[in-house]
């Protein structure tokens, strides 16, 4: 698997772990025309005017080949 694919999988796994711990639903987009990779949402009624808030997220992952250790 190319390093770009590994970074993408790592990003998606990390956000899935956060969403699961927070009790949120995670929706993934097949095409990210608007720059969004996933949508986090909740079905909790937070107040009379706030039912089911959602947030769109763009995922990023970077890496480096070597790490200098002293």
Q: What is the pLDDT of residues 3-59, one digit of tens each?
A: 888 888 899 999 999 999 998 999 988 776 788 889 999 888 777 777 778 899 998
Nearest to 12 by CA among 67, 68, 60: 60
The reply to whether 35 falls in a domain is yes
**Domain count of the chain?**
1
Q: Do the domain assignments include residue 67?
A: no
Sign of torsion, CA 19 41 24 26? negative
Does residue 32 fall inside a structural domain? yes
Q: Is residue 69 part of a domain?
A: no
Task: Point out which residues pair with 14 in neighbouring strands.
Answer: none
The closest of 28, 26, 58, 56 to 43, measured between CA atoms, is 26
Who has greater pLDDT, 20 or 64? 20
pLDDT confidence of residue 67: 74
**How far apart are alpha carbons 46 and 58 in whole angstroms?**
25
What sections of 1-70 are H helices per DSSP?
A: 3-22
Would you say residue 66 lies in a domain? Answer: no
The domain in which residue 48 lies consists of 3-57
């Amino acid at each position: 698997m190319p390093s770009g694919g590994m970074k993408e999988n790592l990003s998606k796994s990390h956000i899935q772990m956060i969403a699961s711990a927070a009790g949120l639903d995670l929706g993934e987009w097949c095409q990210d025309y608007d720059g969004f990779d996933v949508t986090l949402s909740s079905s909790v009624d937070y107040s009379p005017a706030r039912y089911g808030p959602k947030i769109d997220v763009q995922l990023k992952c970077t890496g480096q080949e070597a790490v200098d250790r002293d």
